């Protein structure tokens, strides 16, 4: 082959790689020609979900109204970035309303109280905000964690879309029950509605497992603590991702429930004494944190983009990762469909991950409230649910992408649809998994888990990783006593007990006192850096 021909092939390949996405983008953009109506939606969802749900909504809306519609997608990034953007715009919008419409003086007390759920109606700013039509310039928030939607609803930034009242036949035990496995699927005041069900699990590269001589595919959270996964876990920054924090919460809940089963035997939770339950929650919290500690020590990096982790696992840069189920199933399904490859698979830990709603909600002051309500209605309708759960090309199914989502309506899981389902054996309403989420145990600690993940494991990552590698090396070298003693130092988390989290850390984080948070963060970071260095020295040099 001549150099010229070789160059032509290389440049041709580059052009193909660049040209295909551009071509696809242009073909998708044909959906967004000038239309009769435009809906503004903010979302952390990927392009596949955005494209398919817009295409389905356009068809459904045309049939219902005779009008054309398009969606103006706002995509600032992860769920955390979406919420930060929305909250900041609400602050600015209400300030303009407070100063220019109500002609009042803006100060820090007004800013701190107007969207504070703990303020009662006697607070002037809070009352004025809840009586206003102040918005953020966006109609709908589509996706993100249920924790965030509940919080936005409590702040008053989400309002009733009217869909629950319009379709009471949907929101009942026979169709979309109020609760599933301990978690609420929709808000009784209509401020947020689950659009699908999500669970959390492990995505992994089968070929890389073989390279590492791992014959047992990771099926449980504890499998990710395997020393062979050192520098092999693709991890999303828990500060940026509610998905990762939710995974960590599931890990802690699993440990609590395992201990609970040991204590209960044939008894029931209500039969436990207060002291027995207190022990279970404290010890389960500690065991869960130690598991997370080793998983973070095995991580190769912390990124703010969950998509990059999936790609790294797919191409073999990393072996495993923690992810929301539809991202894992989507990557598995798209590789099987487009590349005929089984190299990526997904597992949801049995008795270790509960289903959780992926909500959709309407903002206060939505520019197009009727259209927003109609879009939410479509997403929860039978047609919208078919779009997210059926194979590509199926009736009412997606056109291009297998979305691999789990519909929230019970009437999706019927025999007539089974041949068209992406995962015909998946039915969250008929699952035999005995894991039931107990929000009263850990939901209040969600912010605390995020804070501790950063301070204990990310800010100290250099020392954490170095100590963990030294412990692994000592054990492989046969210096078991040194490894055991170093591990005892490494995983001493006694100062951050469950009680301390509830009584000290949680109130501090809820009080929104940045200076105090920084002081605590600095103190804990210094403490655990020194602790990990001690563990490293013990593992390397002995006592």
The per-residue pLDDT for 199 is 84
The per-residue pLDDT for 269 is 67
- Report the alpha-carbon distance of residue 388 to residue 197 in Å, rounded: 11
The per-residue pLDDT for 120 is 80
Residues 263 and 311 in one domain: yes
- What are the pLDDT digits (tens) for 53-99? 999 999 999 999 999 999 999 999 888 889 999 999 999 999 999 99
Residues 212 and 162 in one domain: no
DSSP 245: H
- Report the alpha-carbon distance of residue 137 to residue 41 in Å, rounded: 10
pLDDT higher than threshold 50 for residue 291: yes
Beta bridge partners of 320: 204, 233
The per-residue pLDDT for 9 is 35
The per-residue pLDDT for 150 is 93
Residue 429 in domain: no
Q: For 220, how many CA atoms within 13 A lie in the half-sphere containing its CB? A: 13
Residue 275 in domain: yes
Q: Which domain holds residue 185?
A: 33-197+357-420
- What are the pLDDT digits (tens) for 218-234? 999 999 999 999 999 99
The per-residue pLDDT for 163 is 97
Residues 479 and 376 in one domain: no
The per-residue pLDDT for 371 is 98
Residue at token pair 């995962």: 423
The per-residue pLDDT for 31 is 47
The per-residue pLDDT for 19 is 34
Residue 428 in domain: no
The residues, ordered by sequence, that sit 6+ positions from 382 with a Cβ below 8 Å of its Cβ are 396, 409, 411, 412
- Report the alpha-carbon distance of residue 287 to residue 56 in Å, rounded: 45
Indicate the number of domains in the chain. 3
The per-residue pLDDT for 23 is 33
Beta bridge partners of 205: 344
146 versus 5: which is more confidently predicted? 146
End-to-end Cα distance, the chain: 63
Residues 27 and 162 in one domain: no
Residue among 107, 105, 127, 106 at smallest CA distance from 116: 127
Residues 43 and 148 in one domain: yes
Last residue of a domain, one of 374, 389, 420: 420
Residue 450 in domain: yes
Would you place residue 433 in the very low, low, confident or very high pLDDT band (cuts 50, 70, 90)?
low
- What are the pLDDT digits (tens) for 371-412? 999 999 999 999 999 999 999 988 889 999 888 889 999 999
pLDDT higher than threshold 60 for residue 287: yes
270 versus 139: which is more confidently predicted? 139
- Report the alpha-carbon distance of residue 165 to residue 162 in Å, rounded: 5
Residue 323 in domain: yes
The per-residue pLDDT for 21 is 34
Residue among 97, 101, 130 at smallest CA distance from 113: 130
Residues 232 and 315 in one domain: yes
* Average confidence score pLDDT of the chain: 88
The per-residue pLDDT for 13 is 35
pTM value surpassing 0.75: yes
The per-residue pLDDT for 265 is 67
The per-residue pLDDT for 73 is 97
- Report the alpha-carbon distance of residue 401 to residue 378 in Å, rounded: 19
Would you place residue 432 in the very low, low, confident or very high pLDDT band (cuts 50, 70, 90)?
low
- Token reading at 25: 């983008």
The residues, ordered by sequence, that sit 6+ positions from 410 with a Cβ below 8 Å of its Cβ are 174, 175, 176, 177, 429
Instruction: Supply the DSSP string of 31-72, one letter for each residue.
Output: GGSS-SEEEEEE----HHHHHHHHHHHHHHHHHHHS--EEEE
pLDDT higher than threshold 80 for residue 216: yes
The per-residue pLDDT for 12 is 38
Would you place residue 248 in the very low, low, confident or very high pLDDT band (cuts 50, 70, 90)?
very high
Residues 266 and 335 in one domain: yes
Residue 75 in domain: yes
Helices and strands, number each (H, E), in the chain: 21, 13
Residues 73 and 87 in one domain: yes
Query: Does residue 480 sit in helix, strand or coil?
Result: helix
Residues 416 and 343 in one domain: no
The stretch 101-121 carries a mean pLDDT of 91
Residue among 338, 350, 334, 348 at smallest CA distance from 204: 348
Last residue of a domain, one of 420, 455, 474: 420
Is residue 208 within 8 A of residue 215, CB to CB? The reply is: no
The residues, ordered by sequence, that sit 6+ positions from 339 with a Cβ below 8 Å of its Cβ are none
Is residue 184 within 8 A of residue 178, CB to CB? The reply is: yes
Beta bridge partners of 180: 183
Is residue 184 within 8 A of residue 385, CB to CB? The reply is: no
Residues 26 and 81 in one domain: no
The per-residue pLDDT for 17 is 33
The per-residue pLDDT for 93 is 97
Residue 432 in domain: no
The per-residue pLDDT for 36 is 96
The per-residue pLDDT for 254 is 93
What CATH number has the domain bearing residue 169? 3.40.190.10
Would you place residue 339 in the very low, low, confident or very high pLDDT band (cuts 50, 70, 90)?
confident
Query: Does residue 408 sit in helix, strand or coil?
Result: coil
Query: Does residue 156 sit in helix, strand or coil?
Result: coil
- Report the alpha-carbon distance of residue 97 to residue 89 in Å, rounded: 12
SS3 of 424-437: CCCCCCCCCCCCCC
Residues 259 and 151 in one domain: no
Residues 178 and 206 in one domain: no
Residue 430 in domain: no
pLDDT higher than threshold 80 for residue 40: yes
Is residue 521 within 8 A of residue 447, CB to CB? The reply is: no
């Amino acid at each position: 082959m001549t150099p010229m021909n070789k160059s032509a092939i290389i440049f041709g390949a580059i052009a193909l790689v660049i040209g295909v996405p551009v071509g696809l983008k242009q073909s998708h953009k044909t959906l967004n020609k000038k239309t009769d109506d435009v809906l503004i939606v903010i979302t952390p969802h990927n392009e596949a979900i955005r494209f398919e749900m817009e295409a389905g909504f356009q068809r459904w809306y045309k049939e219902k109204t005779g009008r054309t519609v398009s969606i103006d997608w706002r995509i600032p990034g992860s769920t955390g970035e979406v919420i930060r953007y929305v909250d900041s715009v609400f602050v600015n919008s209400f300030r303009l309303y407070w100063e220019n419409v109500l002609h009042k003086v803006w100060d820090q007390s007004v800013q701190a109280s107007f969207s504070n759920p703990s303020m009662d109606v006697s607070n002037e700013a809070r009352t004025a905000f809840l009586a206003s039509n102040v918005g953020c310039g966006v109609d709908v928030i589509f996706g993100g964690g249920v924790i965030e939607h509940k919080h936005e609803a409590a702040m008053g930034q989400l309002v009733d879309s009217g869909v629950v009242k319009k379709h009471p036949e949907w929101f009942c035990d026979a169709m979309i029950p109020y609760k599933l496995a301990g978690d609420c699927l929709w808000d009784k005041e209509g401020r947020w509605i689950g659009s699908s069900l999500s669970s959390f699990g492990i995505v992994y590269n089968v070929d890389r497992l073989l390279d590492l001589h791992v014959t047992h595919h990771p099926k449980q959270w504890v499998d990710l603590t395997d020393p062979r996964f050192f520098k092999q876990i693709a991890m999303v920054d828990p500060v940026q991702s509610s998905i990762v924090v939710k995974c960590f919460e599931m890990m802690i809940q699993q440990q609590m429930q395992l201990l609970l089963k040991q204590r209960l035997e044939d008894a029931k939770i209500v039969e436990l004494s207060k002291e027995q339950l207190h022990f279970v929650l404290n010890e389960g919290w500690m065991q869960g944190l130690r598991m997370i500690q080793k998983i973070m020590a095995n991580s190769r990096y912390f990124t703010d983009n969950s998509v990059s982790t999936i790609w790294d696992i797919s191409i073999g840069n990393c072996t495993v990762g923690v992810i929301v189920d539809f991202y894992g199933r989507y990557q598995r399904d798209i590789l099987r469909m487009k590349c005929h490859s089984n190299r990526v698979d997904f597992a949801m830990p049995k008795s270790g991950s509960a289903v959780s709603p992926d909500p959709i909600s309407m903002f206060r002051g939505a520019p197009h409230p009727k259209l927003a309500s109609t879009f939410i209605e479509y997403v929860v309708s039978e047609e919208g649910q078919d779009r997210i759960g059926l194979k590509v090309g199926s009736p009412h199914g997606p056109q291009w992408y297998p979305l691999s989502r789990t519909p929230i309506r019970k009437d999706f899981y019927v025999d007539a649809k089974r041949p068209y389902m992406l995962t015909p054996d998946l039915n969250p309403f008929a699952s035999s998994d005995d894991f039931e989420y107990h929000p009263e145990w850990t939901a209040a600690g969600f912010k605390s888990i995020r804070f501790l993940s950063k301070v204990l494991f990310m800010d100290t990552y250099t020392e954490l990783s170095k100590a963990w590698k030294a412990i692994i090396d000592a054990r492989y070298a046969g210096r078991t006593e040194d490894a055991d003693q170093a591990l005892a130092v490494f995983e001493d988390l006694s100062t951050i007990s469950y009680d301390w989290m509830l009584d000290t850390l949680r109130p501090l984080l809820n009080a929104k006192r940045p200076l105090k948070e920084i002081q605590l963060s600095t103190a804990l970071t210094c403490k655990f850096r020194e602790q990990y260095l001690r563990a490293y020295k013990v593992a390397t040099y002995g006592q």
